[in-house]
Structure 1
Amino acid sequence: MKSFRCRVCANVLYFENSVCLSCGTGLGYSRAEREIVPVDGNGRYTDAAGLIWHVCRNLNLSGCTWLARFEGGQCEACDLTRVRPNDADAKGLSQFPVAERAKRWLLVDLDRLGFDVVGKAEDPERGLCFDLLSSVAEDVTIGHADGVITIDLAESDDAYRVRVQEQLGEPYRTMLGHFRHEVGHYMEWRLVEGTDRLAEARRLFGDETADYQAEIDRHYSEGPPADWPERYISTYATMHPYEDFAETWAHFLHMTDTVETAHIYGLARTAGPEDSPTFRAFVTDTWMPLSTALNMVNRSMGKADLYPFVIPDPVLDKLDFIASLRPRS
């Protein structure tokens, strides 16, 4: 994530800020400018073209600071949420802002990397939307199907998420991680399946037509193959080619976003893969040294590793493939 500064007083801002804590100016995030901009007392911002933008109507509901085109309307990020908890679900509503914050961060990831995000309103068949569901009254399964990403809001609760993480033996589990993983399924569906890249993807990740439920059942009855660390980024990636792609995609976003942030704060020499001849070189020359250093910083604080993963050579090939899906500027 890039660093932001208040345009009024130059104070450092954070992505979630709705008010500058130094000068008290109201703020909004302009997706078009990719900047946090000042808004007036009525929540309005006038851009360089003279267009007037308004703070999203969901500021108090979900903490959304993005700008909307019309007064009383909602922003493009909120437009992508198809289902949210109903107003009578107090627990679900309390968990909702955490998921929305992760979703907005994901959208900035995709914008930064040049991936188009098209909603269901624009493309009902291939567009993207999110169902952010409360599991207070019913079970919710996180997943993707036909452009619809479903998220269980219970994952907003740290205690719940850590308990599930321990039960499944996972080294890493976050709300942002869920969004990055599930959008990986969506991007494979949009950018790989039915294209001339499918044969190469199958060579790297396997045949995605393999029976999904049978492979999942096999994984939970037999566990991952003994040599999985030599070929996969995680045990979850071994379950099915779809999961291998989505896991690798999520790590592609983890790496690019973290390096950009580290560069801004003086912790990395380069800002991203653009400064490397290949994505493989970016991982080996920039990401691996940085993640090792950050792991040691965490250990110095008595914390678990920030990035508890080892990247074998076949995963570097998979990451190279995913990076190659990025649109050419």
Structure 2
Amino acid sequence: MQTFTCQCGNTLHFANTRCVSCGLMLGFMPDEKTLSSFTKHDKGVWRSAANGRLYRQCKNYSVQDVCNWMIPVEEPGELCVSCQLTQTIPNLDQPDNRRLWFRMENAKRRLLYTLYKLELPVVSKQEDPQQGLGFEFLEDQTEDEYGNELTVKNFVTTGHNAGIITLDLKEAEPSSRVKMREEMNEQYRTLVGHFRHESGHYYWDRLVRNSHWLSEFRALFGDERLDYTYALQHYYEQGPAPEWHKVWVSAYASMHPWEDWAETWAHYLHMVDTLETASNFDFSVSSHQVIDPLQHLPQSTEAKSEARFNQLYNDWCRLTAVLNALNRSMGLDDAYPFVISNIATDKLRFVHKVISEARNTEI
């Protein structure tokens, strides 16, 4: 994730809504992939300092205060391209839900930023009911029992189905998420990680299913026709495959080829986003300058794609060693608690190739 610059010269961050230096309103322009300061032009209309064009605030910005994205004034609709993807929002009659909804939308916008920078297709269900993408932010349904106790009537499961990504609202509450991470013996569990993982399932359908990549996918990840319900039950009853770290990027990736792909996809998005951040701050490790993997993406030949991946992966290994050492110095858990085997690296390389080709072809 990049930082941005206000017209007054102050550094701005992706989620900011007002410059703390000059006080101007800020908004992210998805058409420009940049955060800009704005001045009032007319009622409900703002002028960008970055490009001089006119924009409106997303309704979820001006009314709900859970968004900071803008809409070009010539485009119809009240919602920005990010909020259009949200099909179900939490019940705002519940006192904490607006705060949790904000966290959900913020994590979703971070995902979209990376997808846009990678030039991957992002269309809503309204635009394309068959292949479009949508999000639902749901919570467990409860009911009173004997007037003084709440029992769960319907559990929400985070997952993906036919382009709809469902997120359990509890994942936006750090204490609940950490509790779940410990109960499931996971090394890593974050809100943006959920979005990246579930987007992997969506893009498997878009980019790999019924494509020329399928045979190479099966050679690396396994046959996705393996019964998923059985694999899921076996994983939670027996645990991950023995010595999973020699083959898979995470323990959960060993559950089924689909989950292996989604975990690998999520790790790739972790890599490119974090490396862009490090590059933005001119970060170097032992005189090796970190290169922004999302800047000026070329039309990739196979050779260029391989060289770019090697650069990305080497930068990542050096950077995560430093990040983990810094966290340990502060008494914190490792920022990246994974060791990538050669086999898992080949899977990451495959994700890189699929994305590189998707940029160069019309999907």
Aligned partner of 1:298 in structure 2 is 327
Could you tell me whether the CA contact under 8 Å between 1:280 and 1:317 is conserved in 2? no
For normalisation by structure 2, the TM-score amounts to: 0.86
Change (3 A) 1:72 1:323: closer
Offset, 1:36: 1.3
Offset, 1:114: 1.0
Change (3 A) 1:281 1:96: same
Aligned partner of 1:142 in structure 2 is 158
Aligned letter for 1:101?
N
Superposed counterparts of 1:82-121, under 5 Å: 82-121=87-126
1:317 to 338, 346, 354: 346
1:131 to 133, 136, 144: 136
Bigger drift between 127-136 and 17-26 goes to 127-136
Aligned letter for 1:86?
N
Offset, 1:34: 1.2
Structure 1, residues 182-204: CA drift from partner, whole Å, max 9, x if none?
00000001110011111111111
Could you tell me whether the CA contact under 8 Å between 2:27 and 2:70 is conserved in 1? yes
| Aligned mates of 2:23, 2:141 — CA distance in 1 | 38
1:66 to 60, 65, 69: 69
Of Structure 1 and Structure 2, which has the larger fraction of its residues in strand? 2
Offset, 1:24: 0.6
| Aligned mates of 1:62, 1:142 — CA distance in 2 | 25
Offset, 1:27: 1.1
Could you tell me whether the CA contact under 8 Å between 2:6 and 2:36 is conserved in 1? yes
Offset, 1:38: 2.2
Offset, 1:92: 2.6
For structure 1, list consecutive stretches of 5 or more residues without a partner in the other structure. Answer: none
Aligned letter for 1:45?
W
Identical-residue share of aligned pairs (%): 41
Could you tell me whether the CA contact under 8 Å between 1:62 and 1:96 is conserved in 2? no
| Aligned mates of 1:82, 1:35 — CA distance in 2 | 25
Could you tell me whether the CA contact under 8 Å between 2:305 and 2:353 is conserved in 1? no
Could you tell me whether the CA contact under 8 Å between 2:199 and 2:262 is conserved in 1? yes
| Aligned mates of 1:209, 1:233 — CA distance in 2 | 21
| Aligned mates of 1:284, 1:105 — CA distance in 2 | 21
Superposed counterparts of 1:6-85, under 5 Å: 6-7=6-7, 9-41=8-40, 42=43, 44-46=45-47, 52-59=54-61, 60-69=63-72, 73-85=78-90
Structure 1, residues 258-278: CA drift from partner, whole Å, max 9, x if none?
011011112241112769853
Could you tell me whether the CA contact under 8 Å between 2:139 and 2:168 is conserved in 1? yes
| Aligned mates of 2:116, 2:193 — CA distance in 1 | 17
Aligned letter for 2:353?
S
Instruction: Give the count of matched residue pairs.
Output: 328
Aligned letter for 1:63?
V
Could you tell me whether the CA contact under 8 Å between 1:57 and 1:72 is conserved in 2? no
Aligned partner of 1:256 in structure 2 is 272
Higher radius of gyration, 1 or 2: 2
Aligned letter for 1:19?
R
Offset, 1:136: 5.5
Structure 1, residues 90-139: CA drift from partner, whole Å, max 9, x if none?
33333110000000000001011111101111110110000011235342
Could you tell me whether the CA contact under 8 Å between 2:6 and 2:37 is conserved in 1? yes
Offset, 1:283: 4.8
Could you tell me whether the CA contact under 8 Å between 2:66 and 2:101 is conserved in 1? no
Bigger drift between 206-215 and 266-275 goes to 266-275
2:205 to 183, 189, 196: 189
Could you tell me whether the CA contact under 8 Å between 1:230 and 1:312 is conserved in 2? yes
| Aligned mates of 1:320, 1:149 — CA distance in 2 | 25
What secondary structure is seen at the aligned counterpart in 2 of 1:308? Answer: coil
The answer on 1:272 being equivalent to 2:293 is yes
Aligned partner of 1:177 in structure 2 is 193
Aligned partner of 2:246 in structure 1 is 230
Offset, 1:75: 0.4
Could you tell me whether the CA contact under 8 Å between 2:224 and 2:257 is conserved in 1? yes
Aligned letter for 2:345?
L
| Aligned mates of 1:15, 1:291 — CA distance in 2 | 22
Structure 1, residues 2-57: CA drift from partner, whole Å, max 9, x if none?
110102x0100111111111001111111111111222235533469875311111
Aligned partner of 1:247 in structure 2 is 263
Could you tell me whether the CA contact under 8 Å between 1:27 and 1:39 is conserved in 2? yes
What secondary structure is seen at the aligned counterpart in 1 of 2:212? Answer: coil
| Aligned mates of 2:351, 2:306 — CA distance in 1 | 15
| Aligned mates of 2:221, 2:34 — CA distance in 1 | 37
Offset, 1:229: 0.9
Q: CA RMSD in A?
A: 2.0
Aligned letter for 1:291?
T
For normalisation by structure 1, the TM-score amounts to: 0.94
Could you tell me whether the CA contact under 8 Å between 1:92 and 1:136 is conserved in 2? no
Change (3 A) 1:207 1:72: closer
